[in-house]
Amino acid sequence: ETGVTQTPRHLVMGMTNKKSLKCEQHLGHNAMYWYKQSAKKPLELMFVYSLEERVENNSVPSRFSPECPNSSHLFLHLHTLQPEDSALYLCASSQERGDTQYFGPGTRLTVL
């Protein structure tokens, strides 16, 4: 498998649930990103990891918790989310931070 993959593609969860989004890149990149895409808003950068170290957290609520166990995998752990957190969550990777980014297909999250 090539490129950037994300699982699950769709997720419906209640406000009290705990779930995780997974991203895997097969490109040998060293930087990975989480974005949130809501309707009619520009993509919002949430987190940046470079060489497995979190280098940026854009004032994201603590109910979103990222994890990067190695340079190929990135997780976004979710707990006690709000309905306004419903969105498309996109993962991306780049060779190094600042290089051209390649995106995964996204996870469509619905919080009931």
Partner 1 sequence: AQTVTQSQPEMSVQEAETVTLSCTYDTSESDYYLFWYKQPPSRQMILVIRQEAYKQQNATENRFSVNFQKAAKSFSLKISDSQLGDAAMYFCAYRSGRYGGSQGNLIFGKGTKLSVKP
Give the footprint of partner 1 on this chain (CB under 8 A): 40-43, 45, 48, 56, 88, 90, 92, 96-98, 100-106, 108
Between 13 and 43, whose beta carbon lies closer to partner 1?
43
Q: Toward partner 1, which CB reaches closer, 64 or 101? A: 101
**DSSP letter (8 states) at residue 104:** -
**Residue 6: HSE in the Cβ half-sphere, 13 Å Cα cutoff:** 25
Burial class (CB in 10 A: 0-12, 13-18, 19+), 104: buried
To the nearest whole angstrom, how small is the minimum distance from the Cβ of residue 75 to partner 1?
19
Is-contact 108 8, C-beta < 8 A? no
**Closest approach of partner 1 to the CB of residue 97, in Å:** 5
Strand ranges for the chain from DSSP E: 4-7, 10-13, 18-25, 31-37, 44-50, 53-57, 64-70, 73-79, 87-94, 102-103, 107-111
CB of 50 to partner 1, least distance (A): 9
Q: Tell me how far, at minimum, the Cβ of 15 lies from partner 1, in Å.
A: 24
CB nearer to partner 1: pick between 90 and 111: 90
Nearer to partner 1, 79 or 97 (CB): 97
